[in-house]
Amino acid sequence: MPIKVQSDLPAKKILEEENIFMMDETRAMHQDIRPLQIAILNLMPLKEDTEVQLLRSMSNTPLQLDVTFLTTSSYVGHNTATSHLDKFYQTFADVKNCKFDGLVITGAPVEMMEFEEVTYWDELKQIMAWSLENVTSTLHVCWGAQAGLYYHYGMKNKKLDRKLSGIYKHHVLMRREPLVRGFDDIFYAPHSRYTEVAKEDIAACEKLLILAESEEAGVFLCMTHDGRQVYVMGHPEYDRMTLDKEYRRDTGKGMEIAVPQNYYEGDDPKSRPLLMWRAHANALYTNWINYLVYQNTPYEWK
């Protein structure tokens, strides 16, 4: 898929080395088609890693995407260089008068806090309210999904007894929905979180459809009937080594963290993790772009 990004975005070079087609601004200007406008509100601390992961996941459709990266103005983290944010990111104030075909709201490492305690919660509420009128479909990921369910439907998350970390088996529940088109009956996906939204709360909401779940990890995927809001409880965009990095980071801090489940061969952290989820991750993002964004968005926003 031709993804249009700034020519010197570091993620562009990394993905080109993986043989993923990236289009720079110069070439995009010479294509007589309307690209889809996709905004990514990147709340993850390692923003450059998340850029690579999300752009890779959205790279399997022939549609041209014009990607805008957003960050919060009410909180600026310390894990990404200010120069990178200044060059490649905008804030909500910069785009609030714009229309987007799709919006991705990522996860964030703040799930142990009450939503109202998060520094940028008021700003995030503004963005989620704005998305209802200015975005065709919004994809919420992990904590972003929990935040969206809380803001839009008042669903509170609850703390788990221990961190849910690993690769879990999921079942497709509603095969006729385009968002899970091409999925096998059983598929795998990464989770990395300390909290969850209870299945019974989601199932009780008449506005939501549960499309996939796991016996171990709970609801994985749900959405509104019209596809305007999609909620992904895990991290399908994670690359092979992301959970490994998190595990070694936490154990390096002296935290008592279990080995990620179903991740290393023989549950041995010295072995190379098996990559078992990328095909379905790619299918999820491709289906979202093709069916919930492209098929529903107007050619010209009014």
Identify whether 235 is a catalytic site residue.
yes
Per-residue tokens: 241 = 């080594």
Which residue among 111, 177, 196, 237 is the active-site one?
Answer: 237
Which residue among 140, 152, 170, 235 is the active-site one?
Answer: 235
Per-residue tokens: 158 = 């609850």
CA distance 261 to 217: 11
Identify whether 98 is a catalytic site residue.
no
Cα of 166 vs its chain's centroid, Å? 17
Which residue among 111, 142, 152, 196 is the active-site one?
Answer: 142
Identify whether 30 is a catalytic site residue.
no
CA distance 92 to 123: 8
Any idea which residues carry the catalytic annotation? Answer: 142, 235, 237
